[in-house]
A and B are shown apart, each in its own frame.
Chain A
């Protein structure tokens, strides 16, 4: 069955007017006002959760957890001077996960009553018992102390759902106008907002209420030269963030000047959509006549809004323990960073490379108080002084690497999806010596500066990757020397991180992120941030991507 057979037939995907809003979202479309209505009272959620936990235990479960989730989202799409779609969604239900006969079982329901919860719990136990017949080793959970009754909330300043839709539409249309005024032929813009109201309870004695917010503004500006038939686009240099609408209220202190001669501006904790749209239009036009790169080895200076994706693909995914062990072999793949490889102690990168995992960073997409199996979140080292020191793991994986503590990075994208190991924030620590981007560029004889997320591809074990970008500038003898086009770099993960030669200091540190990172079968999405400062990599292989057809 092709998913589009069903999904494509809903009103959401018909023609230009109704675009699909959120990948994987299976809730109902509602009035925007509904997004501000309160969910169930926490005392009611506790009673419902206990109904599931008690039923699961009575049916033979040795462990059970319940997630009662209300997932809210809103998306706004525009192009040029018109609104294409505004969709507000709500999805409400509960998932029950159990261990019975040493085997996982999971069931979900949108009948969130004591009877509905009990029925889902019974079904989860039945499934666990059925699957236990082909189970080879019993599930071993890392111990987890019950957290009691606790809560956590993303520290937002402005709930995006409290901002009138009209105001959001006006912002996107103003950004479009800024792009058109500066020479864009076309512009599409979008705003995604998410609020996960999640209640978790387990037989360990945890009752955790969380209110998680995320936001992502984005646009794509296209410039066309009709005479030559050439077209080029430039996307926004925004990042998806774990923030409220305050991200769209630009502040001067969040703007970080890019290299002299580029006009680029980096954004930290707020985004100036109008200014970036205007610049994007100018840069899209400039790309039409930019010099085509000569293939060869270059020293690359990578902006955090670009490097985040490279970190995601070449460090984030290969250090997921479920991939390392083979659980994703049929879809996303496995990893070169096997337990045997790690045991050999070979370098992952140069000694400058220190990469941390965390679920704590302020304003990040990964930040929560507790993960989706009730584990308090933390920060830990993945790569220290260039060597792989740890993986990302959850409760049923810790014993495999002889540890007895989960890292707190278990996540499900819906109440109806079973939780599994997902990437926490994975970030490159900034340099400890004072170093600005301009000072970094001064030391580069022949190089390329790259900003923005472009084309990206990496193999199923995360060795060989190819990355493009949004804008490329030649660096010659320590100075920016004009825009380049047709640039992509091809590299091997270990060579790439081994060539890391310098990292700017913390004043240049910013978050990049992925709002819809896919994994699993059936696929689930998750959101994850990657922080870094501008970083230099020496002698990287750059190819020219221009072709004649």
Chain B
């Protein structure tokens, strides 16, 4: 049931719009089918599944809007759902930020967001992948905890102004933490894909296991400013806030214009067009990129286009709601899904080779905003932190707490490596000078 074809989905949506008595009506179908397996201490701890299609109906009378949802699709349920959205709309206050629904839109050709291999995943496949990972850890007398989550589905949208959209998506994410039995070493690896046929738990398990074994008996270094090599998983996280995602999330035009963003300008306005980062920093989004294909439309139906956010260190674009774009008279650009930071050709190993003294960081954790004025964040290193000298990893070091802003970090850029996929984004490893570690942590 979870993956309706375009024809099936649009047939339901047409019927929904047919039941509408509102001035405007938009209906969205969202289907998802998938499962997950969680393991700890080299054994499966929990597993679960999801198979659901839900309908969201937004009805509008003038500037009043109401939303209702349902997950059954017989005529009576659909009719009730539409009626409920209309009742809620009639009771709702008028929105001063009302914008009419969009009419027909032109979307880019569909990228490969859906892979049959992912949609065909079975419980046996999940158990086999996690099982193969546990075997490696058993053999090496290490303890693992892992999570494998996959889903496949679709989104379909239609409204009374003629907008029509449909796209299928699939995805798999895997993460693993491997620890030594004495608790003195810990390693981590993660990866995500649209196409599950690219996934192999064993490869990622070996990376995490090597880091766990290699991080035993870490030495304490004094906190202070260090040259660091931040692996991509230290820059963007699937499960937590992150330094680069924090920067991307801050590119909101309204916050900047309202004076409550690092992009706000003294005296009013925003800093779009200013060079705020090292000239090697270029970040864009492109939903058609084959490595990180994404949805072609935003939640309100606006097309997602290739958009340059930062080019050679200069802020080129900010995203906004339709309302704010119209009010401020700025380009109407929706917030992107994933994004791509341009990089070079060097691997993490290459970056290590070119480092006289520095610290390799596998991952950062519990990252929280400290000061939105400067985008200062705090958090800690975790699961594999190593001292580098003369181009080689010398020894593991104890974890640090950092207090750092991605803005300062991207001005202290030493080198950019080759981007890899993390959390649906393409992120290069970065070598940064004067990264600020403010205290030591005993955590392993």
Interface residues, chain A, with chain B CB atoms under 8 Å away: 1-2, 4-6, 8-18, 26, 28-31, 82-83, 86-87, 104, 106, 110, 127, 130-131, 134-136, 165, 169, 185-186, 222, 224, 226-233, 325-331, 333-334, 336, 338, 418, 420, 455-464, 466, 468, 486, 488, 490, 492, 521-523, 541, 543, 545-549
Contact between A486 and B371, CB atoms less than 8 A apart: yes
Contact B71 A28 (CB under 8 A): yes
A4 to B: closest C-beta gap in Å: 7
**A5 touching B337 in the complex, CB below 8 Å, given contacts A14-B300, A15-B322, A521-B36:** yes
- Cβ of B34 within 8 Å of any chain A Cβ, yes or no, is yes
Contact A333–B371 (Cβ < 8 Å): no
Q: Contacts A229-B266, A457-B378, A545-B371 given; indicate if A329 touches B145 (C-beta within 8 A).
A: yes
Q: Say yes or no for B415: interface residue by CB 8 A criterion.
A: no
Q: Contact at A547–B366, with CB atoms within 8 Å?
A: no
Closest Cβ–Cβ distance, residue B235 to chain A (whole Å): 16
Let me know if B84 is at the binding interface, CB within 8 A.
yes
User: Does the CB pair A330–B266 fall under 8 Å?
Assistant: no
Smallest CB-CB separation from A492: which chain B residue?
B442
Taking a contact as CB atoms closer than 8 A, the residue among A87, A229, A463, A468 that contacts B67 in the complex is A87
Measured between beta carbons, the chain B residues less than 8 angstroms from A12 are 56, 67
* B residues 17-38 touching A (CB-CB < 8 Å): 26, 28, 30, 32, 34, 36, 38
Report Cα–Cα, A10/B408, bound state, in Å: 36
What residues of chain B lie closer than 8 Å to A14, measured between beta carbons? Answer: 298-300
Q: Are A15 and B321 in contact (CB under 8 A)?
A: yes
Stretch at the interface among B85-93, B226-234, B342-350, B387-395: B85-93
| A454, chain B: closest CB distance, angstroms | 8
A10–B43 CA distance with the chains assembled, in angstroms:
36
Are B45 and A468 within 8 A (Cβ)? no
Cα–Cα distance between A232 and B300 once the two chains are bound (Å)? 31
Question: From residue 357 to 377 of chain B, which have CB atoms closer than 8 A to chain A?
Answer: 365-376
What is the CA–CA distance of A232 and B264 in the complex, to the nearest angstrom?
A: 13
Give A232's nearest chain B residue, CB to CB. B373
Q: Nearest-CB distance from B144 to chain A (Å)?
A: 8
B260 within 8 A of A: yes
Q: Distance (Å) between the CB of A143 and the closest chain B CB?
A: 23
Q: How far is the CB of A369 from chain B (nearest CB, A)?
A: 26
Q: Is the CB of A468 within 8 A of B370?
A: yes
- Decide: A130 and B299 in contact? CB cutoff 8 A: no
Q: A131-B44, A333-B443, A455-B368 are known contacts. Are A185 and B375 too (CB-CB below 8 A)?
A: no
The complex places the Cα of A331 from the Cα of B183 at a distance, in Å, of 16
Q: Does B311 contact A (CB under 8 A)?
A: no
Distance, CA A549 to CA B366, complexed state (A): 23
Interface residues of B in 236-270 (CB under 8 A from A): 239, 254, 258-260, 262, 264-268
**Is the Cβ of B26 less than 8 Å from the Cβ of A1?**
no
Contact pattern, B 284-316, Cβ under 8 Å of A = 1, otherwise 0: 000000000011001110000000000000000
Could you show 12 A-B contacts with beta carbons less than 8 Å apart?
A9-B295, A15-B323, A87-B67, A104-B46, A130-B123, A131-B47, A222-B260, A224-B259, A231-B259, A326-B179, A459-B441, A549-B262
Give which listed residue, B46, B373, B442, contacts A230 with CB less than 8 A: B373
**Distance A11 CA – B48 CA, assembled complex (angstroms):** 26
8 Å CB interface, B40-97 against A: 40-48, 52, 54, 56-58, 65, 67-71, 84, 87-88, 91-93, 95-97
- Asked if B43 contacts A136 (CB within 8 A), the reply is yes
B169 in the interface, Cβ–Cβ < 8 Å? yes
- State how many angstroms separate the Cβ of B199 from the closest Cβ of chain A: 13
**Complexed CA–CA distance, A87 and B338 (Å):** 28
Number of interface residues of B (CB under 8 A): 116
B67 — which chain A residues lie within 8 A by C-beta? 11-12, 18, 29, 87
Task: Report how far A29 CA is from B401 CA in the complex, Å.
Answer: 42
When chains A and B are docked, how far (Å) is the Cα of A187 from the Cα of B380?
Answer: 32
Docked-complex contact B48 and A1, CB < 8 angstroms: no
In the complex, the chain A residue whose C-beta lies closest to that of B425 is: A2
Is A338 in contact with B376, judged by CB distance below 8 angstroms? no
User: Is the Cβ of B268 less than 8 Å from the Cβ of A17?
Assistant: no
Closest 10 CB pairs of A and B: A1-B171, A14-B299, A464-B441, A461-B443, A330-B145, A329-B145, A459-B443, A229-B266, A11-B56, A330-B177
Closest chain B residue to A134 by CB distance?
Answer: B44
**Least Cβ–Cβ distance between A351 and chain B, in angstroms:** 23
B160: CB under 8 A from chain A?
Answer: no
Name the one of A10, A226, A459, A523 contacting B268, with C-beta atoms under 8 angstroms.
A226
CB-CB < 8 A to B374: which residues of A? 546-549
**Which of B8-16, B103-111, B150-158, B426-434 lies on the face that meets chain A?**
B150-158
Bound form: Cα–Cα A16–B334 in Å: 12
Known: A2-B338, A12-B56. A455 touches B378 (CB 8 A): yes
Most buried by B among A328, A457, A490, A492: A457
* B424 touches which of A2, A224, A455, A523 (Cβ 8 Å): A2
- A455 to B444 Cα, complex, angstroms: 23
Please give 16 more A-B residue pairs, beta carbons under 8 A apart, in addition to A2-B337, A29-B69, A83-B95: A1-B172, A1-B173, A2-B423, A2-B424, A4-B337, A10-B28, A11-B57, A12-B56, A28-B70, A185-B260, A224-B259, A459-B380, A460-B443, A466-B370, A547-B371, A549-B405
